Structures are given as structure tokens and as C-alpha cells.
Amino acid sequence: MALEFTDANFQQEVIESDKLSVVDFWAEWCGPCRAIGPVIEELAKEYEGKVKIGKVNVDVNPNVSVNYGITSIPAILFIKGGKIVDKQIGAVPKNVLDKKIQANM
């Protein structure tokens, strides 16, 4: 299951992690966000223990969203060593995200 990243735990869970983190910025009211949700869940299961995959609800966690300049959702950031190594804006097929994960692990 995908992790829940928040303003409170983002620093510890993502920035300080030694693993690649895949962070899906989303909101309940966003259709494309709901469409990509199951893909994020599948990837979380497949990469469990190897990659941290989670979601940030932009309506509930405005600080992280503002810090990363999130203006369009879904926005998926690939963060490793505290730095953004890749990103994807908009809903895309699973294989696109899978390739980005493989490239950045």
C-alpha cells in the first residue's frame, strides 16, 4: 500500500531516506489523480522494501506542495538523496513510471 506523506513526516520519510522516494501529489477532486491512484498502489506493492512510494494530499498538506512548486496535479516527483531526480506531470501509463523508477533506483 502507498505511504501517506504529510507536511509533518515529509522531511523524515522522503528527504532523509536513503531510498528513492516516489511522491504522488494529488487531491480528492482531481479526476486524473483518481485515475492514476491504482497505478501508484500497484507500484507501491511491487517495489515494497526497495522504493518508498507514497502520496501527498495537496489540500491537507499545503507546505510540502508549496515548497516543491506544485501547480498542476497529479504531479509525481522522484526524490533521492533529498533532491528531485525526475518528475512526471499528469496521468501516464504504469510503464512510464516504472521506467523512471528503474532509471533512478
Question: In degrees rounded to 5, what are phi and psi of residue 95?
Answer: -60, -30
CA angle 2, 92, 37 (to 5 degrees): 30
Judge whether 86 counts as a catalytic residue.
no
- 30, 56, 73, 75: which is the annotated catalytic residue? 30
- 2, 14, 22, 33: which is the annotated catalytic residue? 33
Judge whether 80 counts as a catalytic residue.
no
Distance from C-alpha of 1 to C-alpha of 84, rounded to nearest angstrom? 23
- Rounded to the nearest 10°, the torsion over CA 21, 25, 30, 31 is -20
Residues annotated as part of the active site: 30, 33
